[in-house]
Structure 1
Amino acid sequence: MENMKVVVLGANRYGFDDEKTGRRVEGCKVHYISTGNKPGENELGSIPMSQTMEFSFFNKIGQVPGIYEAVTALDMRGKKLGIKIVDFKFIEPVTFEMPVKA
């Protein structure tokens, strides 16, 4: 399976107690855009995506925004076979320069 290059825009971690079960829910959500994304018929530009990772992954993320290799694996959910990102490996930093108005 081929990995893809993405631009990781940011990450946030969360932790809360599920009100129904009382169970602790924790995770890290990584927000990214694909570098090879081609907009669909009803899209303009790049639409950010996200992948939920383990809570501890938050400390593994390096510089953001940055270019990362998204490591993928097959993921079986019920009867559907899909692709899931299982790791992000830092490649290089990236900057977004905004015009400054005086």
Structure 2
Amino acid sequence: MNSKLEKILMQEASNTNRIYLHYRPQHEHWVAYEQSALNLLSLAPLLLPDEEIFSDAEIRLRYATINFEQMDRYNLPAYCTLLGDDIMVLGTELPLEEN
């Protein structure tokens, strides 16, 4: 299993109300997986969900993408905290409902 997938699975295993976003520079957008994707879609309902297949581990994950323009439209940058060069989290103070 690759380290990117491991990181995603560890973050999402206990996630309920956070949105972890992983940057994809080749597409200039951020990607939220699994519960993060569901939480993002609840804040930005015009985004479209999809699935990514990690063939080396035979795992399929739900995801949603958001670009910089969409982030500005939903006023999300004010709630973001960088966790690394290619990952950030939207603050837990966002009004998300428990699933």
Q: Normalising by the residue count of structure 2, what TM-score does the alignment of the two structures yield?
A: 0.30
Give 1 or 2 for the bigger CA radius of gyration: 1
Of Structure 1 and Structure 2, the greater strand share is in: 1
Q: Normalising by the residue count of structure 1, what TM-score does the alignment of the two structures yield?
A: 0.30
